[in-house]
Amino acid sequence: MAGSAPPVTRFAPSPTGFLHLGHAHSALFGWRRARQAGGRFLLRLEDIDPGRCRPDFADAILEDLAWLGLDWDGPVRVQSAHLSEYGAALQSLRARGLLYPCFCTRADIAREIAGSVAAPHGPDGPLYPGICRRLSAAEREARIAAGIPHAWRLDMAAALRAVPGALSFHEDGQGRLCCDPARFGDAVLARKDAPASYHLCVTHDDAVQSVTLVTRGEDLKPATDLHRLLQALMGWPEPAYAHHRLLTDAAGRRLAKRDRAATLRELRAAGTSPAEARALAGWPD
């Protein structure tokens, strides 16, 4: 934990669209927390999803943040340049028997859930019903050898057994909160179509970048339970957390990428100044 040292915070957008005022709020939140305390503010592009991320959005993010008046310390970390590091983390979990390959399609999972009496839900949706957890080692190997596409899932029960004691985290202004990672079930840590999942990459990178205060929207607060489990399994240091409120529009709806009028690009083209944009993002100077 950070103790009283100046915090290292970060903003970690995914380049799947242009930044909107909600992102500006988040970036300014992390930037202010660092700068007010003489700490460091890092920027990371979470671009591991090849189907949704685009280089032109990544360039636009840097440009829009600079226009907004933000600066960041050190080079921008671009996740797609670090795939072998996520692969090594996955390999370490696999070697300890904490991951298993999952060959299910979405349809397989939906069929299994439809036929079951109870279908528990977690923060990321319905829990995986464990179809591939029940495969024998020989069956797994045969399917991998046959080239059947597969994801890698965390064996949640095994992972919880591997971590001694209860997990918790320090939330800014709230103190220590208890974690219940089992709510995620056997979470996917490497997808069929992407080499690693958000949950794995974000915890890996917060560790290697020595982030001591994770600043992000409160929509991601439930994910912290799983992140603390991954940190404990991997021996990564525990950061503190500060989850901020989400900006909403006049109708009280959460701002999303589809609200084009709220992108920083549009505001800038319409003659909005950076100071006005900061105020619209909830941080008047």
* Residue 61 is a binding residue for ligand GLU (CB under 6 A): no
* Residue 14 is a binding residue for ligand GLU (CB under 6 A): yes
Taking phi first (over 0 means left), then psi (-120 to 50 degrees means alpha), and beta for anything else, what does residue 168 get? beta
* Interatomic CA distance for residues 127 and 132, integer angstroms: 13
What is the dihedral sign for C-alpha 30, 268, 264, 42? negative
* Residue 80 is a binding residue for ligand GLU (CB under 6 A): no
- Residues 198 to 257: which contact ligand GLU by CB under 6 A? 202, 216, 220
Q: Shortest approach of ligand GLU to residue 263 CB, angstroms?
A: 15
* Residue 24 is a binding residue for ligand GLU (CB under 6 A): no
* Residue 177 is a binding residue for ligand GLU (CB under 6 A): no
Q: Shortest approach of ligand GLU to residue 16 CB, angstroms?
A: 8
Longest dimension (CA), the chain: 64
Q: Shortest approach of ligand GLU to residue 138 CB, angstroms?
A: 38
Residue of this chain nearest to ligand GLU (CB atom): 216
* Interatomic CA distance for residues 200 and 243, integer angstroms: 19
Cβ-contact 125, 267 below 8 angstroms: no
The SS3 call for residue 19 is: coil
Contact range with ligand GLU by CB under 6 A, out of 6-14, 97-105, 143-151, 244-252 = 6-14
Letter string b/e over residues 135-149, b meaning 16 or more CB atoms within 10 A of that residue's CB: beeeebeebeeeeee
Contact range with ligand GLU by CB under 6 A, out of 10-18, 83-91, 110-118, 180-188 = 10-18
**Interface with ligand GLU (CB under 6 A):** 12-14, 46, 202, 216, 220
